[in-house]
Structure 1
Amino acid sequence: MTSDPKLVGLNALHERLHRVLPNVKLTCQPLPKTPQLKLWLLDELFPEQALEPGIVNAIMEEPPYWSFCWASGQVLAEFLIRNPEWVAGRCVVDVGPGSGVVAIAAALAGARKVIACDLDDDALTATRVNAEENGVQVVLSQDLDSALQEADLVTAADILYDRENLGLLARFQAAERVLLADSRVPDLNPPGYRLLGEWQSCTWPDLGESSEYNGVRLFAAQA
């Protein structure tokens, strides 16, 4: 048995994937917009043969969203790398990290400390594995309240697929700054936030989603 933490994490993630998709694997891939950042993501979406209904249902019930890099995460990660003044010397709390792309970009851009906060153990494992792959340190947390107490900047990308998370946007504003990226709510206009701009991106590996999900809007809030 290996004692390498990254390999242990990868084995755990593969075990999780193979419960529903026995023929897929993760590979380390550079991202299209930020090739200096590499993530362990699905090598291919699905096998060529049609999936059994039971497998489809299992995927819908527990989607391995951490095995993709979603459009908003890519845009926000690129924004931080191109604009390091947003994070330099600050404690960044990334909420709903998924693959960890935004948390890792914040660390690469010079954040003093990065906390990735999620209730999902697999997402935190993916974030840890990907942080190690990119040679940065990210603190993992399942306690949002404690993490927000340390935050100078809160980041979040594509967390509003669950509309129950809309209530988090007001909580985030306890921090000095907030950066929110979203591609799922076309009429989003959260109180206290201003629109910084809109970018085009897609999920990687490409899910072939409707083009309406390729437009990513980036919002900022500042105390």
Structure 2
Amino acid sequence: MEQFVRSVTTPRPVPLTPDILLHTADDMITLWERTGAPEPPFWAFPWAGGQALARHVLDHPGLVAGRRVLDIASGSGLVAVAAARAGGHVTANDIDPTAIAAITLNARANDVTVTITTGDLLDTTPDVDVLLAGDVFYDRDMAARFESFLLAAHHRGTLVLVGDPQRSFLPHGWTRVDAFPVPVPPDLEGVALKTTTVWRPAP
């Protein structure tokens, strides 16, 4: 699987976090068609929500330094890499085996240590200090599951941060923490820049 990821991506700096290299596809649409999957290859591109969340973590390393961090639905592993760079003890999780390969390659490319787990964690109660999620509110049913999972963690005392580029199913009533204009591919997002916000659940 790592060989496949290497064959369809090129390591390049992430626009909002240029000190991080990410195995990135040259043409997301073509790759999506090639995979034949119903959803885009989330592992092959630094999505706006992940970029904003990674930038916020790098700008505020005290949020994660020395703490147990879970990056849920990690995709490429961008947020996990940023959290590890900032000193966190990081676990990256995704249900896609290709994402697991991409996270492995991207952690290696950035010389950081990230523990990687596969499988659906949304019905579990992870014992972590910080829970990070980039761009997870794009589908109604999945957004509802993520909201329930994230709020439950928040109520247990976990620091929960989400990066979201104005997706349709962002929950109401969350608290804005930070925001960035993030460069995005127009063929995917319809615009060249998306204002992307970092949120946390309301107290």
TM over 0.5: yes
Rg larger for: 1
TM-score (norm 2): 0.83
Distance 1:116 1:220 in 2: 19
1:219 aligns with 2:202: no
**Which of these residues, 31, 54, 67, is aligned with residue 14 of structure 2?**
31
The verdict on how the C-alpha distance between 1:187 and 1:106 changes in structure 2, with shifts beyond 3 A counting, is same
SS of match in other structure, 2:3: helix
CA displacement at 1:46 relative to structure 2: 6.2
SS of match in other structure, 1:149: coil
Deviation >6 Å, runs of 4+: none
The verdict on how the C-alpha distance between 1:35 and 1:221 changes in structure 2, with shifts beyond 3 A counting, is same
Partner amino acid, structure 1, of 2:12: Q
Does the CA-based 8 Å contact 1:158-1:184 persist in structure 2?
no
1:1-223 correspondence runs (5 A): 9-14=1-6, 25-45=8-28, 56=33, 59=36, 61-111=38-88, 113-143=89-119, 144=121, 148-166=125-143, 167-173=145-151, 174=153, 175-185=157-167, 188-191=170-173, 193-203=174-184, 207=187, 209-211=189-191, 214-221=194-201
Distance 1:130 1:152 in 2: 23
Distance 1:82 1:42 in 2: 26
CA displacement at 1:211 relative to structure 2: 3.1
Structure 2: where are the runs of 5+ without partners? Answer: none
Distance 2:104 2:43 in 1: 12
- Give the total of aligned pairs: 197
Structure 1 vs Structure 2: percent identity of aligned residues?
31
Q: Give CA deviations for 1:139-194 in whole Å, capped at 9, x if unaligned.
A: 11125269742211100011111222222223223252100111142573445x31
More strand by share: 2
> Who is 1:20 aligned against?
none
CA displacement at 1:60 relative to structure 2: 5.6
CA displacement at 1:200 relative to structure 2: 1.3
The verdict on how the C-alpha distance between 1:176 and 1:208 changes in structure 2, with shifts beyond 3 A counting, is closer
Structure 1: where are the runs of 5+ without partners? Answer: 1-8, 16-24
CA displacement at 1:218 relative to structure 2: 1.2
Distance 1:199 1:222 in 2: 20
Tell which deviates more after alignment, 165-174 or 56-65: 56-65
TM-score (norm 1): 0.76
Partner amino acid, structure 2, of 1:215: T
Distance 1:37 1:69 in 2: 11
Tell which deviates more after alignment, 25-34 or 88-97: 25-34
Does the CA-based 8 Å contact 1:72-1:158 persist in structure 2?
yes
Distance 1:58 1:11 in 2: 15
